[in-house]
Amino acid sequence: MGNRLSSGASRPNHRKNGIEWQGIIRYYSYETSPRGFDSDLDDLQEHINTDTIHMVYLYKKPLYEGQWTDLILYHVYVVFYTETNQGRFWWALEKNGEALILQMSRNLEDVRDKLEGERRISHRNAWYWRPKLIVQNSSLETFASLYNFLIVTDQVNLRYNFADENCKKFAKIVFDRIARTKRWNHIF
């Protein structure tokens, strides 16, 4: 896997004009460490080698806390679950301005409602916003196939760009790859 994976222990490089693209898949596990950043990459490699994806979901949340609508401006991310002889595991895979982020937990709420241990939507706005399901579908994709697809299509090195290399495009590519029969057709 080389240097494409990171346990998340390294934080973003800040430059004068904001956050710099890291060119990695940052891995955060709610299972291997209470803080997640000490996640075991050997454990992840075992999941990549053995897991099969059974269901895939797309969720969205507003880009900014003060938004009144999420019709056009929203962050979208992929959630899926795998089943192994160790039980069911929930995963979230997404792209933001820093990196590709892969999270894992035995609880859906961890990966759906949090990003690297922090709530996606603050308590202050939880009365109005919560992650919304966009589309779901069954899957027979292996985790290894998904991981190889991300590497072969060079997703790690496609720097985030608000206009075209953004979370929506990434989520569409991943969802369409994993989903058995459905495709996500977003307008904006």
Q: Which helix (H) or strand (E) holds 17?
A: none
Tokens 């192994």 sit on residue: 84
- HSE on the CB side for 77, CA within 13 Å? 23
- pTM higher than 0.85 for the full model? yes
Q: Report d(CA 159, CA 162) in Å as an integer.
A: 10
Q: Report d(CA 63, CA 168) in Å as an integer.
A: 12
pLDDT digits (tens, 9 = 90+) for 82-126: 988 889 999 999 999 999 999 999 999 999 999 999 988 876 666
Least confident of 26-40, 94-108, 159-173: 26-40
Angle (nearest 5°) at CA 72 between 162 and 147: 55
Confidence of residue 14 (pLDDT cuts 50, 70, 90): very low
User: Would you say residue 7 has pLDDT above 60?
Assistant: no
CA nearest to 184, candidates 83, 59, 45, 89: 59
